[in-house]
Amino acid sequence: MEYIVIIISAVFVNNIVLAQFLGLCPFVGVSSKVKTATGMSGAVLFVMFIATVITWLIQNYILLPFKIEYMQTIAFILVISSLVQMVEIILKKISPSLFQALGVFLPLITTNCAILGVTLLTVQNDFKLLEAVFFAIGHAGGFALALIIFAGIREHLDLINLPKGMRGVPAALVVAGILSLAFMGFAGLV
């Protein structure tokens, strides 16, 4: 039951994008098409899951025992950037079309503060390894949910006749604000 609460809280109540405002660069940058948003969501899920496990192990078995917690941010960033390089190589081999579609946004996972934020929140909340895994999966799911919903809405916005000044980024920001308000409705759920 505890793990279900962690996931529901991460996906809906404390959504990493819409409630904590982390990961906004890929949220706005990759959300023009649902297909690209889905691919980015999968890549973020993979990197967030693996990064959380590895950084939890580094924190508990290297940084804490040697009392070098001050190296936490640098160590976590190195882990995340290495994982992104691995994802980039894998995507290039497995799905060249998705690799091309993500283009410049794939390296943005390296600087995606949502991933670093989740790894740091895992440590701050003093989660056990399994709790950390569910926390990461929940936040990756929340990121994916927000990104795919936003991409779907943006695809529909392209089909309607908006005033010239509202096309593109202005409309996207209004929609992001409304989505954030919608997710605030889950506050107090868990």
Q: Give 155-174 pLDDT, tens digit per residue.
A: 999 888 889 999 888 998 99
pLDDT of residue 137: 97
Residue-averaged pLDDT of the chain: 90
pLDDT of 155: 93
Q: Cα 74–143–23 angle (5° rounding)?
A: 45
In 3D, which of 27, 54, 19 has the Cα closest to residue 189? 19
Identify the pLDDT of residue 92: 86
- In contact, 30 and 171? CB cutoff 8 Å: no
What one-letter code names the amino acid at 67? K
> Is 82 strand, coil or helix?
helix
- Residue located via tokens 């996906």: 11
Under-70 pLDDT residues of the chain: 103-105
Q: What is the pLDDT of residue 51?
A: 93
